[in-house]
Structures are given as C-alpha cells and as structure tokens.
Structure 1
Amino acid sequence: MHQEIQQVAQVEVPVERAKAAIALMADYQGRVTELSRIRREAIEEAAAAGMSQSEIATLLGVSRGRVGQLAAQGPPPERAFFGTDLMTISLGGKYEAGKSPEEAGEVVSRQDLGNFEHLRQLLATLKLEAQYEVIAPTGMVNLNRDNHIVVCGPRLSPIIAQVLEGDDNLRFQKDRAWHLVDLKSQEIYRSPMDEDGSAGDVGYLARLPRLDGKGTFIYIAGIHAIGANGVVHYLENHLAELYRDVRTRRFSTLISCRYDPKTQEILESKRVSPIYRHEA
C-alpha cells in the first residue's frame, strides 16, 4: 500500500480518518488533472511536429482512436499559465471614502470585482477554482505562494512597486499623470482617458518573481482601474497564443483597450508592446 494511503488508514479517530482521506483524494485528483493536461499538451506538440495519430499511437502502444480520445481529455495546455490548484486573486483595497480611518472599511473597486468574476469564469474553463482576497490599504500582500494572481496598481502597494522596479523593459512612471514607458524603445503609453477623455486605457501584464525567489505570480494592472479589465479581456481571448509564446516563464507586455463609457464593458483589447522575456 502507498505510504500516504497507509498513513491515512492508520488514523485512529474515524472522523479524522475520513477528513484525511478526503484531503488526500483531492490532492490525488489534482495530480490526475495536471497529468492529463501534460499528456494532452505532449500529444498536441507531437502532432504539431508532424507526427500522425497512427505514429503517436504506435509509440504509445494504444489504438489510433485512443490517441484522439487522449488528445481531447484533460484541461487545455494553457491551464499551466496560471497554476495547478486553487487560485488566489489578490485585489487592491482602499479605505471607504468619507469616513474616518477608525470607521472606514476596506473596499475594492467595482472594476476589480468584475475582474475577479471574469478571471473566475476563465479559470473554470481550465478546471481551476478561484477565490479572492482584499489587499489591505497599507499595500502589504504575501507574494510568496503558488497559484497567485495580483490585480493591484503600484500606487496602492509599495511591495508591488518594488517588484516592478526589477522589470528592465516596461515601467509605470508619473509626471502630470501616471503612464507606462517602454524602456527599450523609449515609447510612452498614456491613457486616452487622460489625453482626450476618450474611453480607453493601457494595462500591464506580467509574470513576476516572488520575493523568496522560489516561484512567480501573475500581475495585472492598468494606468486606471479599467485598464486591468482590458488585460483580463485580452487573456480571455488570447490565452492560448500567449501561453505558446511564454509558457510559464517570466515576461511582461502592455495591453491597450477600448470600453463602452456607459456600461464600462471592454469592447476591444490588443497587445501594443513586444512580449519581453525576463529569462534567457
């Protein structure tokens, strides 16, 4: 018997044994899901390299029809872009306006709550569950964990601002207004909201290093809050191609968007800078 299963079987208290069995089953199911994703990705890569289903079937020792089944089973390969387990989405918090610091509660913007819902739905298609947490107005957030997405501008979190300083390609800066700069091309990206009042914004999308050096997290922010919505819209529509480009490596890029000024719904999003890879 597998050692982990044997340890569960030896738990004396029945209810505790049942709880341990449930937890281990969930862990095993997560591994099965991720392995099925890896298998699907490997078959797709083999096919993209020119191998026929018959050739793949012969090498795997299964029928040609079974290869077709395996290629359709499991979550899509791009699931790995985000993680392998329950995702935590950290949203930047502010104190309620018009109240004293003692009375004010911590709130997030309507746009960020919308971002969570869109991300939750996207993650569900990848067989990933999601929960959200509010980053305290102090900006303190634990970045040293797996399966983590942060949606919070550098203005709200000095920790995030510090991590962003490590991007040698793209940067938030401020003069008369906040904007984004491509440090390689020296091109400046300002929000249309600040330039002529039109319904558009620019956002930043990246996979950045954790402070403990033991992993990464996905980071999303806009010049204005709705710019993050544009980044999420881009992920909803371009995740597969983005994953093919960057896999799970560190990167950063800029996304512009247009939105309906009445409904705040994102109408269009597109990449406006190169995808800068942070790793050799």
Structure 2
Amino acid sequence: MPPSDLDKIAAIDDPYLLLRVATERLNAAQQEVTELARLRRRVIQELHAQGMSYAQIAEKAGLSRGRIHQIRHTGPAPEGAFLGTGVITVATPLKQEADNARPVVAMEDVAASKRLEDLARGFGLTVELEHVPLTGQIDLNRPGLIVICGPRLSPIMGALYESDPVLEWVKDGAWTLRDSRTGNVYRSGSDSTPSRPVDYAYLGRLPRPDGQGNVLVFTGIHPQGTLGVVHLISTEINTLWGQVADRRFSCVVGVEYDPRTGEPVRAELASPLYRHDED
C-alpha cells in the first residue's frame, strides 16, 4: 500500500522542513474543505430551485433531512465563487503622480481593494494583494486573479480588454466605453458639459491569454466608477452569480456618487449583462 501524504510528511527528518510542509499542507486542506462546503451548499440550492423538496434531496443523497437543512444554512455561500475559489489575488496599479516621485496607489484603488478583500474574506476566501508595476506588466495566467486596472496603465490589460466581443475602450479626447452591439457610448459625467457626478465602469470576466482560465477585471473611467463596481458587487453578488456564475461576461456599470466625497450613492447596470458564451 503506497504511503499517504500524511505518512510522507511525517517521515521528513528536518524538523524545520517538516513544520513548513505540514503548515502548507494544512492550509491547502483547509481551503479544500471550504470549497467542498461551498459546493455542497450550491448543489442543494440548485436542486431545490429545480423543484425538489429538501426531503427528496435527502432521500436521493442518502442523508437525513436535518443534515440537508444544516448544510443549506452553514458553510460559505455559493455566490462567493463569483470572486473566485480558494486563494484569490487582487491587483491594483501603481501610478507615477509626478516626475521623480515615488510610485503610489490611488486612494480610491486602495479603498476598492480593501472593501473587496473584506467581502471575499466574508465568503471564506483567502486574499492576497499585489500591485501592477509602472510598466504595466502583469502575469494574467494565474488562477483566482482579480485585476483593478484599465488600458491606460497597462498594455497587457489593454490587450485583454480587446478580447471582449461586445464592449470596448475608446480614447475620444477622454476615455469612453462603447457598446458595439447597441452603439451606445458611455462618457463620464466629469468629462461632459455640464459636469455631473456620474461615472461609468467596466466589469467583466475575460479569458486568460493562455486559455486555461479566466480573469475577473474591472475599473472605472475615473476612480469613482471603480468604487461603484465594488459597491455593486457587494450589494448584488447573489444576483450576479445567478446570472453568470463563473462564466465569461461583461457589462457597463453606471455610478452616481457624492461630489464631495467621491463615494458611490448608487451603482447599477448601465448596459445589458453580456454572457460571452451566448455570442
């Protein structure tokens, strides 16, 4: 009988290596338990939505009705998988605000990533934060990646956005978002005359360059739009998950914000929510 992972770890002679390997394996096991719990709860919800009673689900699964009800109300909510599973990485861009100044992260991007981190942790996800460097170079071929960055700061992100079959970024004096299907153009209120406290943002899940997965991406035309996307995700994640789950999609988010603080007061879909597998 071949040795188990536990047996292999226990056989490590170096105590420091054993400690590190055991810790890494335990972290991986805890993440697996979290995702299995999320999957169980998701399956029960889907079966019930299809018309099965909890008693029928229990009978078919060989579990008690009480156990089914317990699973239904415990563990991480399925809609958390809209953000990813296991470990997710949230990347925000560094910016050069002035000549010879140190690179900085926009205050709004810091707030957006922190709010997204808090939301993800509430769904039992592990979150790591990183920055897109000034060069705009970022490795998109990784699982669980969320990038808060537009095409202006990263040519790699610009190329990723170009893979969208419906929505496109257009530099027309100011940056705008254009819906190629309807012809609608979304221009920030701060770039319009008269100026209005309204911004627009892109939100989508696009294919990784290596074709082995997807990347969740979003950014506003201006920072207020970025905060608005996080507000929309935080308040409507259950609806978003129900509409697109973990599949590819894109949409334009309209954001009204307080002109004094820049904080969103309302965020909603300004365009249809396009599911790319239907194109």
Per the alignment, residue 197 of structure 2 pairs with 199
Q: SS of the counterpart of 2:206?
A: strand
Give the one of 109, 113, 117 matched to 1:116.
113
Per the alignment, residue 159 of structure 1 pairs with 156
Give per-residue Cα distances to partners, 1:26-68, cap 9 Å, x unaligned.
1111111101101000001111111112111212222221111
Give the TM-score normalised by structure 1: 0.95
Per the alignment, residue 208 of structure 2 pairs with 210
Per the alignment, residue 243 of structure 1 pairs with 241
Give per-residue Cα distances to partners, 1:141-166, cap 9 Å, x unaligned.
11111111100111000111111111
Per the alignment, residue 180 of structure 1 pairs with 177
Per the alignment, residue 35 of structure 2 pairs with 34
Are 1:15 and 2:12 counterparts?
A: no
> AA paired with 1:3?
S
Q: CA RMSD in A?
A: 1.3
Cα drift, residue 231 of structure 1: 0.9
Cα distance in 2, alignment partners of residues 226 and 141 from structure 1? 24
> AA paired with 2:141?
N
> AA paired with 1:5?
L
Q: SS of the counterpart of 1:123?
A: helix
Cα distance in 1, alignment partners of residues 180 and 3 from structure 2? 53
Cα drift, residue 86 of structure 1: 2.3
Cα drift, residue 3 of structure 1: 2.4
Cα distance in 2, alignment partners of residues 225 and 158 from structure 1? 19
Identity %: 39
Q: SS of the counterpart of 2:158?
A: helix
Cα drift, residue 2 of structure 1: 5.8
Give per-residue Cα distances to partners, 1:68-114, cap 9 Å, x unaligned.
101112111112212222221111111242x32xxx32211011001
> AA paired with 2:201?
G
> AA paired with 1:116?
S
Per the alignment, residue 76 of structure 2 pairs with 75
> AA paired with 1:189?
Y
Q: SS of the counterpart of 2:219?
A: strand
Cα distance in 2, alignment partners of residues 119 and 213 from structure 1? 26
Q: SS of the counterpart of 2:47?
A: helix
Give the one of 160, 165, 168 matched to 2:165.
168
Cα distance in 2, alignment partners of residues 55 and 222 from structure 1? 46
Q: How many residues align?
A: 276
Are 1:277 and 2:278 counterparts?
A: no
Runs of 4+ in 1 over 3 A off after TM superposition: none
Give the one of 246, 255, 258 matched to 2:256.
258
Contact 2:224/2:263 (CA < 8 Å) preserved in 1? no
Cα distance in 1, alignment partners of residues 231 and 141 from structure 2? 26
Cα drift, residue 131 of structure 1: 2.5
Unpaired runs of at least 5, structure 1? none
Per the alignment, residue 131 of structure 1 pairs with 128
